[in-house]
Amino acid sequence: MLTKQHLENLRPKIEIALSQQLRTAEGRFAGLQFARDCIDDVTRTASELQNYEARLSDPRNAADPTTSNGNLRAYQEGYVAGLREALDTLMQLIAVAAEHSTVRSEYDRRLFDAVYRVSTRLVTIPESHVVALEQILGIPLPHGYYTFMTTLGLGIYCDVVALFPPEQILAEYTEEVDGWASFWENPDAVLSREQLQVSIPLGKSIEGDQIIFCPTYPERLFVLPRHDNVIYWIPEGFKALLHWVSAAGVINEQPAFTYFEPFRKDRQQHGLHNEHPSLPLPALVQAVRAQWTLPVAHELHQDTEDYHYILLFLPTIGGLVQFEQVLDGDPRVNVSVSYDPEHANVVVALAEGLKVFGFE
């Protein structure tokens, strides 16, 4: 495992690499390769670490600290903490080596103030990690990416898009770009081969569409759809992250109400279903709400090609309740509740109340 002393010894090499880096595609890839070499131990072990954390969070693997299993668990927890510290130290070293930082306006800093936080327990990314990423890539990233990472962090935006943290961009950059050939081979491509080769993957939709940034168009973002070889664009970038457009017209509209749910390993889920509801879904939801004493911050209705959803946002549980019904005439209704673990007792009471309406 990388140690803090090992990383401190890398400081001169990092400074030299950054000062000599060319502002070209070749230079960016060279700088990226250097950075990937530096953090190779961390990124490679991070995957293994995720498995460790999954085991540690599984109640079935809880162990008495006085046993051998308990000792192994303590070792794994220490290993996790050490890796996180190593990665943070490396990113800080790279950020310190930067000669200047990008000035961000008040508007940029408040870009996501209106986004509803499903939970206030966010997993934000340190500023130094974003600054380090910019230095390694050799280009300034959209201000919206910086604001998203430092104010919202890891999670899902409107249940559609999740952005990559800096270390994931570093780990996957060249591999992602190598897979974009089908887009630049399209004779009607919005971006040329040269432009795509210097673009940065910033995130993905839940359907697998890739969100990328092309330095040629600093105010825009682009979408490489999973099921098409025609590039979409996001005209206003992070200002309207879900407004997708193609040559054929609008692909997706930016919703009036936006929300964000953080990715945390301790987030909890609870599910119920009702095979034969006695009321249409909207009336059923209103009947459920009428018996609740908990405040509902917002009620959102969404339709997809196959489903109708009604989402109730409940700040008291740091979560939301989602009612789902297919649109083919099947009367069944499924309910899922996501919430912060400290509110488990409240959710149990909510589930008991739903049983009155036939949910089980």
**pTM strictly above 0.85:** no
- Listed residues 240, 264, 288: the one ending a domain: 264
Whether residues 140 and 55 share a domain: the answer is: no
Strand 200-205 versus strand 268-274 pairing type: unpaired
Query: Is the Cβ–Cβ distance between 86 and 93 less than 8 Å?
Result: no
Whether residues 117 and 185 share a domain: the answer is: yes
Whether residues 283 and 312 share a domain: the answer is: yes
CATH of the domain at 274: 3.30.160
What range does the domain containing 216 cover?
Answer: 101-264
Whether residues 237 and 113 share a domain: the answer is: yes
Query: Is the Cβ–Cβ distance between 316 and 287 less than 8 Å?
Result: no
Residue 290 maps to a domain:
yes
CATH of the domain at 224: 3.40.1580.10
- Listed residues 54, 78, 97: the one ending a domain: 97
Whether residues 110 and 84 share a domain: the answer is: no
Contacts of 63 (CB under 8 A, 6+ apart): 69, 70, 72, 73
Structure tokens that stand for 182 in this block: 């089908």
Which DSSP string corresponds to 79-141?
A: HHHHHHHHHHHHHHHHHHH-S------HHHHTTTTTSEES-S--B---HHHHHHHHHHHTSPP
Which residue, among 166, 37, 174, has the nearest Cα to 91 in the 3D structure? Answer: 166
Q: What is the pLDDT of residue 6?
A: 47
The letter for the amino acid at 67 is T
Q: Per-residue pLDDT for the chain (360 aa), expressed as one digit of tens each?
A: 444 454 455 555 555 554 554 444 455 555 555 555 555 554 455 555 556 556 666 666 555 555 555 566 677 677 667 666 766 766 776 666 555 455 667 777 789 999 999 999 999 998 888 888 887 777 888 889 999 999 999 999 999 999 999 888 877 776 666 678 777 777 777 888 888 888 899 999 999 999 999 999 989 999 999 888 889 999 999 999 999 999 889 999 999 999 999 998 889 999 999 998 888 999 999 999 988 888 999 999 998 888 899 999 999 999 999 999 988 778 899 999 999 999 999 999 989 989 989 998
- Give the span between the Cα atoms of 55 and 30, in whole angstroms: 37
Q: What is the pLDDT of residue 192?
A: 87
Query: Is the Cβ–Cβ distance between 1 and 82 less than 8 Å?
Result: yes
SS3 helix, strand, coil % of the chain, rounded to 5? 45, 20, 35
Whether residues 258 and 119 share a domain: the answer is: yes
Look at residue 308 and give its three-state secondary structure: strand
For the chain, report the end-to-end CA distance as a whole number of angstroms. Answer: 48
Residue 360 maps to a domain:
no
Residue 134 maps to a domain:
yes
- Give the span between the Cα atoms of 196 and 177, in whole angstroms: 7
Number of structural domains in the chain: 3
Structure tokens that stand for 264 in this block: 């945390």
Strand 200-205 versus strand 210-213 pairing type: antiparallel
The letter for the amino acid at 153 is G
- Listed residues 60, 80, 97: the one ending a domain: 97
Whether residues 193 and 224 share a domain: the answer is: yes
Structure tokens that stand for 242 in this block: 């879900």
